[in-house]
Amino acid sequence: MRASGIVIAIDGPAGVGKSTVGKMVAKRIGYSFISTGKMYRALAWKALANGLGLEDDEKLVALARSLRWEFPKGAGPEADVSLDGKVLALELSEESVSRASSSIAKLPGVRLFMKDMQRQAGLSGGVVMEGRDIGTNVFPDAELKIYLDASPEARAKRRVGQLKEQGMPADHAQILDFIVKRDAQDSGRKNNPLRKADDAHYLDSTSVPRDQVVEAIVELFKAAVK
Ligand code: C5P
C-alpha cells in the first residue's frame, strides 16, 4: 500500500460516466478524485485561446510547462482543473474543446507531460483517477483497475441529458456522431490508445443504474484493500 491508500484507475470511452462514477466512489471511500480528461481539455482550451496549432507538439508542451496547474477540490461539480489560478469548468465541455483535446492527445510530447503530472498527483495513493490510459500507461501498477463501458447510443443519450441540464443545445444524432468519431480517434491512435488493461475489471453500464456501478466499484475496492 502507498502512503495514503491505493490507486484506483478508471478508464473507458467518451461519455461513459467515468467522472460522475469516479467522484461518487471517491466520496464514499474518502479518496481524492482526479480527471485526466480535464487536463487534456484544459490544455486544448488554452491552446485554442492562444491560437496555437493543434499539431505543434513542441509549442503545446512549452505552453503546458508555462502554466500553473492545480486541481481544486470543492470548487463546483464540474470544476476539476485550474490554470494560473483560473478555475475552468463549463468552458471545458464545449464540443470544440472536446475535439481539440482528442487531437492534442495524439502527440507524444503532450502525453509525456500529462503522464508525469498525473503520476505526481497520484503517487502517494488515496486517489481515484479517470482517463483513457491510466491502467495501461500512467499507473500500470494501480492496485485496482476498472474499464467502464457502455454502448455509444446510451452514452449519447446521457450526454444529451447533461447538456440540456446545463441549458446548452443538444442534438442526439450529432452527439452520437461526435462520440463515435472520438472513440475511433482515441482507440486508433498510436500513442497510448484507449484499451482495457489485461488486469482491469470490465463493467458494462449500458443498462445498469449509476448507483449500482458505484456500489460494484466500492465492493472491488474493499476486496483490494483487505
Ligand atoms: O474524458 P474526456 O472526454 O474529458 O477526455 C478528453 C480527451 O482527452 C479524450 O477524447 C482523449 O483523447 C484525451 N484523453 C487521453 N488520455 C486520458 C484522458 C483523456 O488521451 N487519460
The predicted-structure confidence for 27-59, as pLDDT tens digits, reads as follows 999 999 999 999 999 999 999 999 999 999 999
Residue among 182, 123, 127 nearest 152 (CA): 182
State the pLDDT at residue 63: 98
pLDDT in tens, 162-185: 889 888 888 999 999 999 999 999
Pocket (CB within 6 angstroms of ligand 1): 14, 36-37, 40-41, 101-102, 105, 131-134, 182, 186
Q: Where are the domains of the chain?
A: 7-224
pTM: 0.95
Distances (CA, A) of 87 to 91, 178, 210: 10, 26, 27
Q: What is the DSSP string of 50-80?
A: TT--TT-HHHHHHHHHHS-EE--SSS-TT--
CA of 80 to the centre of ligand 1 (A): 14
Atom of ligand 1 nearest to the CA of 38: 4
What residue owns the CA closest to ligand 1's atom 2?
A: 37
Domain 7-224, CATH: 3.40.50.300
